[in-house]
A and B are shown apart, each in its own frame.
Chain A
């Protein structure tokens, strides 16, 4: 049964340019089992903004019944959300979707985690789970510029971490794929989340490596009913096959859907 709950804000702060970290507490946390899943947030009980916002789960703390989500303020909805203070509640629907398969690799194998911008957060919980299983993790994280970088130290605690910025103001200048190529990073599997052009470039740059790609798409219901967030299936000749990002994804195996 999917549930919704008014979860209490434990902490809410700005951690980079337009990026906020929100820690919520409630019994819904118990349902959060897989890194890469998302929650659907209602930012106001009124009707404007009307729709929920799909936001990925960044970190899960079962002991305290809390989870962390990071989001970027990019419109009216996230603006309203960013004004909520500790002690207030936020209506959360979820967890939704299928996350990254942590069990795909075994101890001693190498994982490459590639994130871009606001696609970076779900990789944090994933990295924790992978390292707990004894998997060697390398992170390649891309941002627009220096003041948009977040969680670098936290990722460094878990494994090698390379930063790329589009303007070169921090780390390597360029895209995540430039870093991967330049350092010839090898991996048994990659896990990636970020803007579509980045996902496409990553998939094309490592055709021989098994990969798991978390897709982003505008959503309506978030539960599979409205068909707003569909994507096409790779190699489908009928033109009719589709997957729903919200319920079939958001994580797909590389080669499964058209990125």
Chain B
């Protein structure tokens, strides 16, 4: 068995590295740089029931070691994604994690029910944490009771395991994680972006048309790491971690914090080849350290090392 292969609910991963949702479209653009079958999985762009145009531009702004974005869930809608994007992706030997978004509970249920039947969709990622849309999104991800109920309802209709993408914009991410677990989630993905803003020095006005945006990139890694560390010790759910991952050392950190796999977001914009590069270097690094399997490093950071064995099960 490869030292990088990982089994998670619904997902047999060649390696624990995948592009994060919203940073990779539906893969087409990056297939011009490398064979997408090299990836552990692909978290596809958030899909809603109807097509969405998204927000006005400017939609992005750079910040210190990071960026703000407010795309606004632009996507071609469920029917188009099913007929075109997912079909196109069938040529690759890679499991898909479908990011599902909506304005109402019914939207989530409808999209989840349909998209989970696609043969290459092996898991869902409930997007209850998008900070850039007026309705839905983060509204479902800041109230534990609402998140629990939504998870439960989606679980009833989904043909594949359900992961819930957590927002860091809450007072207790641990409470949110527990609520999703109670709702029957199969796993967690974390973290989505942190709400932030940037002003034009001269005019004093926000640079992004949406006024606020989601902060991503290396700037948020310490926050993400702390949250994975906290959540992984209080739930038995596997975690796919994201937040500022740029290289193999970042991946090791998140595994040490308690994650089972890692997703790369903003770094794809900086280096289109970052995912295959991390996969290769991660393998070499583990070999040079004499580590048989990446999960041997899982939860190394925890307070009570004895608990690690339990959580690894």
Q: Do A and B bind each other?
A: yes
Check A220 against B67 for contact (C-beta < 8 Å): yes
Query: Within 8 Å of chain A (Cβ to Cβ): is B206?
Result: no
Binary flags per residue of A216-259, CB closer than 8 Å to B gives 1, else 0: 01111111111111111000000110100001000000000000
Check A227 against B268 for contact (C-beta < 8 Å): no
CB distance from A73 to the nearest CB of B (A): 15
Q: Is the interface of A mostly helix, strand, loop or mixed?
A: loop
Which of A2, A48, A225 interacts with B64 by CB under 8 Å? Answer: A48
Contacts of A2 in B (CB 8 A): 32-33, 272
Known interface pairs A47-B246, A50-B218, A222-B269; A228-B32 also in contact (CB < 8 Å): no
Q: Is the interface of B mostly helix, strand, loop or mixed?
A: loop
**What is the size, in residues, of chain B's interface with A at 8 Å between Cβ atoms?**
36
Check A217 against B29 for contact (C-beta < 8 Å): no
CB distance from A247 to the nearest CB of B (A): 8
How many Å lie between the Cα of A222 and that of B67 in the bound state?
15
Interface centre among B24, B54, B57, B269 (most CB of A within 10 A): B269
CB distance from B67 to the nearest CB of A (A): 6
Query: Within 8 Å of chain A (Cβ to Cβ): is B105?
Result: no
Check B29 against A225 for contact (C-beta < 8 Å): yes
**What is the size, in residues, of chain A's interface with B at 8 Å between Cβ atoms?**
32
Interface centre among A77, A220, A227, A240 (most CB of B within 10 A): A227
A sample of 29 cross-chain residue pairs with beta-carbon separation below 8 angstroms, ordered by A number, consists of A4-B271, A42-B270, A47-B218, A49-B62, A50-B62, A50-B266, A51-B67, A51-B270, A52-B270, A218-B60, A220-B69, A220-B269, A222-B269, A225-B25, A226-B22, A226-B269, A227-B59, A227-B71, A227-B74, A228-B57, A228-B59, A228-B71, A229-B57, A231-B57, A232-B53, A240-B52, A242-B53, A242-B74, A247-B29
Q: Which residues of A contact B (CB under 8 A)?
A: 1-2, 4, 42, 47-52, 77, 93, 217-232, 239-240, 242, 247
